[in-house]
Structures are given as structure tokens and as C-alpha cells.
Structure 1
Amino acid sequence: MLNFTSVPPLSLYIHFPWCVRKCPYCDFNSHAVRDGIPEAAFIDALLTDVDGELPSVWGRPLTSIFIGGGTPSLLSPEALDRLLSGLRARFGFEPDLEVTLEANPGTLEQGRFTEYRAAGITRLSIGVQSFNNARLEAIGRIHTGAEAALAAEAAHRSGLDNFNLDLMYGLPGQSPEAALSDLEQAIALEPAHLSYYQLTLEPNTAFYQAPPPLPDDESLWAMHRQGHERLTAAGYGPYEVSAFARPGRQCIHNLNYWMFGDYLGIGPGAHGKRTDPAVWRIVRSHKMRHPETWLARASSGEVMAEQHRVGRFELPLEFMMNALRLFDGFEPQLFEQRTGLPLYAVEKPLRAAEERGLIQWDIDRISPTERGRNYLNELLEGFLPD
């Protein structure tokens, strides 16, 4: 039996499944727009999807909302306003609620930023990836480096200065010097947050089927190392494997994921996790993936593709896969609060990881060492169920 002493914070993820063009490295549930976006029907369906989830989380406040995709910046400000008004009526928003919108610079009209803010968006995550036009073309992006810079500048002017820039390294034909140049241009735009991560070839993507020429391991390590050094020197503290922020500007939504909090997943293919202390269980779920199928079923509330209870012996790995991505790791009692398990359930693999120099275990905190972060998969293997 799991013993929960408290209910975790609750976030809301909303998935927008359409984009202008599918990027060849993208393995998300995204679909190129063909005949326009059924905007009104989509917002109606999202709110109906929320209504189906409400009974299981009644009375719990939201700590954050994240609208991801796809390219949700294709939504009009009016549609976002209707969506957020509907959510506000159902949940009630705290005054400082973080509401993030993912945005592609190629779809951002600069006049919209003020309207996004008026609708209730408090944070942007702008998918820059690179400022080099040749690199952007090589990875199938629809924007230019100049458009990326203009988007960041427009965010500042509109008062949406709490924004993230997504940057990738290890792009086709990229050198360490070129990766550092991208980083310098991003820092000069003064975002509150920077995500800096390596391009990986995921199954079911065009790049996986026909891999482009990528930098070698030595170059990748140089890009990784110099990126962390430069961001830290510029005042962006690393708090997760690929996330850097100004003081107090960490992403609340992603922190809730990494600290094994709860979240509702709304929209096509969205995943959710819910703790139910009354019956001693944690439930994972995901919705139907295809937008047309999801839309057709939404009005009848039949959009759930699968729900399953997370097994007792799966919980240690699920928790560690998230919490050990954090530079500061986690407090021992957080493991007990979020999994319902006693800490001694993972004492053996934790001690083994400590002996191998992969974690540091103090009285009040368990955190990965630099070696543990660099060999995270090796660290996590110790928590695999028998």
C-alpha cells in the first residue's frame, strides 16, 4: 500500500497539434496544416476535455499552464482569450499563475504580443534553435535568424519579458564555434530563461530515416561544455540538465514535472499524471493522438486512449528519471511524499550510486554529481524494476 502524506501540485498541459510544416527532427504529435485550423471547434473541444477531467481534481488549484505543440502561436489572440477565460471559470487562477505559450518565430506577428499578454499569457517559450540561416534551413525551420531576434525584442517591448529561448546544438554541419555564436546571440537578447540541448535523432522522424551529417562526439562534448560555461558566466544558473535561468525565473511548469508533481493532459495525444491518495494510487493517462479523431470524440467525452495505474515497483525509476535531472536533486522526504514509498525502498541503489560517485547524499538532499549528470542513463539503471 502506498502512503501519501500530501497531494502534489497540479499543472495543466494543453496540446495544440498543428504546425506550418513538420520539422525533420520532430517526434512530437504535430501535423502540418492542410485545410486551415478549426479554431472555434478546437477551443470548444479543449474545454470539454477539461470538463471530463475536473471531477478527479476538484478543488485543487493550478500551479501552472503550458500550451505546447505543434505551434500554438498559430492560434489567434481571441481564441487564446476564450480558452483562458474558460479555464479561469473552471479553476480560478492565482494572481501569479505561470501561463506559458510555445511560439515559433515564423508565426509570430509582432502586434500580437500585447494581445497575448492581455489574454492571460505570462510567459513565452520561443523555438529559435539557431540564428544561422543555413543551419535553420538544414533542420527544416520556417523562420530566419533575424525573425528570431525580432520575436525576442518584441516580447521585451510588450512586457512579456519572462520568456525562454530554445537553442539546439549538434546541428548538421555545425562547429563548436558556430554553436557558441548562436549562444552569444541568444544571451545578447536577454531572455529570462534559456534551454540548451543537443539535437538527437528520434525514431519515426525524417532525420532518423535519412540521417544528416552531424558533428562528431568530440565536437559535441566541446559544444556542451562551452555552452554550460558561457551560460553560467552570463548569469544563467543551470537547474536542470538542459535548462538555465536568471535568478527566480526557473520554469514552474517544468519544475513540477521534474519534481514528480501532477498534471492534466488536455488535447490530442496529451499525457497526464494524477495522484489519488484516497485509493493509494498514481494514474498515468494519454488522449487519442490524431487531431481529427480527438475532435470527433471530444463532444461525447470519449477522448481517453489509455489510463493505467503506475505499479509500486515502477515508481522509483519514474521518480528518479525526473528528479535526478535537477542540479540540486531532491529532498529525501519528497520521494516519500510523491511516490508514497519509504526512502528505504531505494536505499540500496542510492548507496551504490553514491559509491560510484554518481550522486551526493547529504542529510537533507540527494543530488547528482557532475559525473552523474554526464552519465545519467547509467545512474538511472540502478532503479530499474527487478
Structure 2
Amino acid sequence: MNLPPLSLYLHMPWCVKKCPYCDFNSHALNGDIPEQSYLNAIVEDLKHDLSLAEGRPIQTVFIGGGTPSLMSPEFYHQLFDSLRAYLTLADDAEITLEANPGTVEQSRFTGFRQAGINRLSLGIQSFQPSQLSALGRIHDDKAAHRAIEAARNAGFDNFNLDLMHGLPDQTPADAVADLEAAIAWNPPHISWYQLTLEPNTEFYSRPPNLPDDDRLWDIYCQGADTLRKHGFGDYEVSAWSRPGKASRHNLNYWTFGDYLALGAGAHGKVTLASGEIRRFWKTRQPDAYLNRIASRTAGSQVIEEDELPLEFMMNALRLTEGVPEGLFTERTGLPLDTVAVKLESLRQEQLLERHGLKTTELGQRYLNTLLERFL
């Protein structure tokens, strides 16, 4: 089988403080970040995993967290020099950094741009002071606007604004106001996703007063209308972009591409030349990741043949336009006949379109139920 495109995910695990809704591998900062030690650990991690690349160039890089913008521009200069010593980055590689508006300034953004980062994802979440306080964010609405202005002044013409909806006591008008505040900056991309209560978070143990299902649906409908009116299309369940500005890194995920993973708690997925498809994950705790002498990979597992249809569909069917049927075989190595009966049943129920692997509007609304059919 032809190997899929290859991306790279890098995890920076430190935050100023842990937000009450966050279930990502993030750790409140206590003292200075050990940048040089972490850089050394990432390089050693990469050298151990280098064979997984199978000689493929890196098409996209995503630096997530935690709060990656806490790391200095000099750290990223050294990081990309080190990466290029072992990997080939495509000339047009999309390189995205997540940034918290409470941790950046103009000179920092300029330094990130000079280090080779060409796309930002700004974690705004809301422009309303009361909501930012309820969400435990370290920035206010003024800092959010300043961060967007600083990013644009630093030369970032490709950026994403991250917003949440379904916030405590939120009304449809509140949600639309957040979107309109974001749209006023003319961003190429907006991530707009619903707040959910995840286990092992403060919100899960002490739930805030979230909107009921009817209000959530009203919020979604009015918000979606607002985004479409301003020229945004929902190419994925929670991702909206202007034409040609979809996140290439996200598209590689949703089309079941491969991605290396470096950093504490990072998860990766690779296809080997043998056809075996394997997931792997790294040691979560930063101190443990820093101090490992051998491999920093905490575990890995082969995705078995009977698991591949669900794994593929969980990604591909998130895309509004779906994917060609042939991509199933190209990315899994399985014949389409493996799922032909299930596909026909879903088409009969008007949950999938007749051509391609694409949900109908009804199927998109009940996507989780649809996916259960591939268990």
C-alpha cells in the first residue's frame, strides 16, 4: 500500500494554570520552563522514532499544549534547526502554533514568525469578560483583541481563532456576539466547538449551569447562519474556514493520514511499509519525559483489521464533503467490500449520500449514532 502523507505533532505541556474544563495533558507552571532540557528530550525522542517516518517529508507541523506560546522564540529557532537535521520539512509545510492571548506580546509573535512558524491558533474561547472568568482564562477581552492585532502585525496572515459555545448560561445572542467579534478581524479560520464536561476536570466534578439541548441547538443554528453569511464554510464538525483556508494539519487527521508525535503526552499514528498501522503515545508527566534515559514512548498498539473501519470512519465522516470511496482502501489496506453492507444500509436510511463516503445533513446531526454501526 502507498504510505499516507506524514505530519508532526509537538506537545508543550506547561500552562500558567489549569483551566477548569481542560482534559488535555497540561500542567500548571511552577518556576521556569526547562527549555533546553525539554529541547534535548524532544531531539532524543525524535532520533528514537526516526525510522517511523519511512523517509517521508513532513507536510504539516502542529505545536499544541498546554500553552506553547510560553516557550521563547529562541526555543523554537533551536527546535526547528534540530528537526531539520533529522527530517525533511516540505517547502510549503504548514507550521501551526497554539497561543494563549494572556502569554504573548508583539515581539514574541515576531520571534515565532522568524523561527518559521507560519500559522497561529489563538485560544480566545470568548470575547465576553464574564465568560472568560467562568472558564478560568488568564486573559480578558481586551487582551484577546490585542493578541489578534499583534499576530497580524507580526505578519501572520494565516491564523485561527478558537471559540467555544454552549458556555454557562449562554444565550444564542451571546454566542453570535462572540462570532461577530471574531469575524470583525477577518480571520481565515475559526474553530467553533461546544463546551463538554470531560472526566477528571473541575467542571466535571462541579458542573456549571450549561444550556439545555434545545438552547444548544438554537445556538448552533444561529451561529452557523452567522458564519455562512460571512463566507465561512464548515469543512469539518467544528472547523470553519474561508475558501482554501482549511487547516491542512487537521485535514490530514480526518483523512486518516499519519503523524509522528513528540513531547510529553503526545499521541501519534503511523503506517509502516509492511502495511501495519500503529498508534503510540508518550510519557505524560513532563518530569518523567525529561528524565527518561531510553525511549520516551510509554506504549503502542497495532490497530487490528476489525478496528480499522471504525477508526477510518470516525475521522473521514467528520468532513462535511466526505472522502472518495477509494480512500478507504488506500489508507486502511482493506477492500471496500469489508464495509459494503453497512454502507448500503446507512444509505437506505438516508444517513449517507449515495456517492462517496459522505454523511447527509441528517447523518451529520446523528454522527455518533451512525459511527456505532461500524463497531
Normalized against structure 2, the TM-score is what? 0.98
- Whether the aligned pair in 2 keeps the contact of 1:336 and 1:343 (CA below 8 Å) is yes
- Deviation per CA, 1:150-173, whole angstroms, max 9, x where unpaired? 111111111111000000001112
- The aligned residue for residue 356 of structure 1 is 349
Contact (CA 8 Å) 1:176, 1:223: kept in 2 or not?
Answer: yes
CA 1:339 to 1:58, structure 2 compared with 1: closer, same or farther past 3 Å? closer
Q: Which residue of 2 aligns with 1:93?
A: 89
Once residues 262 and 97 of structure 2 are traced to their aligned partners in structure 1, the CA distance between those partners, rounded to angstroms, is 14
| CA distances 1:204-251 after superposition (whole Å, capped 9, x unpaired) | 100000101111111110111111111111111110001011111110
CA distance in 1: counterparts of 2:101 and 2:52, whole angstroms:
37
**Structure 2: which amino acid aligns with 1:361?**
R
Give the AA of the match of 2:76.
L
Secondary structure of the 1:128 match is: strand
Per-residue Cα deviation, 1:45-89 (whole angstroms, up to 9, x for no partner): 111111111122241100100000000000000001100111122
Q: What secondary structure is seen at the aligned counterpart in 2 of 1:96?
A: strand
Q: Does 1:80 align with 2:76?
A: yes
- Residue 279 (structure 2) aligns with: 284
Please report how far the alpha carbon of residue 17 of structure 1 lies from its aligned counterpart in structure 2 after TM superposition. 0.5
Equivalent of residue 370 in structure 1, options 349, 353, 361:
361
Give the counterpart of 2:332 among 327, 339, 342: 339
Structure 1 distance, partners of 2:30, 2:340, is 53
The correspondence of residues 270-349 of structure 1 with structure 2, limited to 5 A, is: 270-278=266-274, 280-297=275-292, 300-349=293-342
Q: Matched residue of 2:353: which SS?
A: strand
Name the aligned partner's letter for residue 357 of structure 2: I
Q: Is the 8 A contact 2:57 2:89 kept in 1?
A: yes
Contact 1:152 1:191 in 2 (8 A): no
Q: Secondary structure at the match of 2:92?
A: coil
Amino acid at match of 2:214: E
Q: Which amino acid aligns with 1:52?
A: H
1:158 is aligned to 154
The amino acid of 2:278's aligned partner reads V
What one-letter code is carried by the residue in structure 1 that aligns with 2:367? L
Equivalent of residue 210 in structure 1, options 206, 212, 220: 206
Helix, strand or coil for the counterpart of 1:95? Answer: strand
What RMSD in Å do the two structures reach over aligned CA positions? 0.9
Q: Deviations over 1:100-133 (max 9, x none)?
A: 0000000011221221111000000000000001
User: SS state of the match for residue 166, structure 1?
Assistant: strand
Unmatched 5+ stretches in structure 2: none
Residue 127, structure 1, aligned to residue 137, structure 2: no
Residue 94 (structure 1) shift: 2.1
Equivalent of 2:239 in 243, 266, 287: 243
Q: CA deviation at 1:95?
A: 2.1
Partner-residue secondary structure (3-state), 2:112 = helix
Residues of 2 paired with 1:315 and 1:340: CA distance?
Answer: 9
> Retained in 2: the 8 A contact 1:15–1:270?
yes
**Corresponding position of 2:98:** 102
> Deviation at 1:333?
0.8
**Counterpart AA for 1:141:** R
State the Cα deviation string for residues 162-218 of structure 1 (Å, max 9, x = none): 000000001112111111100000000111100011000001100000101111111
1:189 is aligned to 185
The CA deviation at 1:35 is 2.0
Identity across the alignment (%): 54
How many angstroms apart in 2 are the aligned matches of 1:193 and 1:60? 28
- CA distance in 2 between counterparts of 1:277 and 1:352 reads 34
Q: Deviation at 1:142? A: 0.5
Q: How many residues in Structure 1 have an aligned counterpart in Structure 2?
A: 375
Cα distance in 2, alignment partners of residues 328 and 277 from structure 1 = 29
Tell me if structure 2 keeps the 8 A contact 1:18–1:31: yes
Give 1:147's match in structure 2, choosing from 143, 148, 156: 143
Superposition deviation, residue 277 in structure 1: 3.0
| Separation (CA, whole Å) in 2 of partners of 1:234 and 1:52 | 46
Q: Secondary structure at the match of 2:9?
A: strand
Tell me which amino acid in the other structure corresponds to 2:344. Answer: R
Once the two structures are TM-superposed, the CA of residue 93 in structure 1 deviates from its matched residue by 2.2
Residue in 1 that maps onto 2:47: 51
State yes or no: 1:136 paired with 2:136.
no
Q: How does 1:233-272 map to 2 (within 5 A)?
A: 233-272=229-268
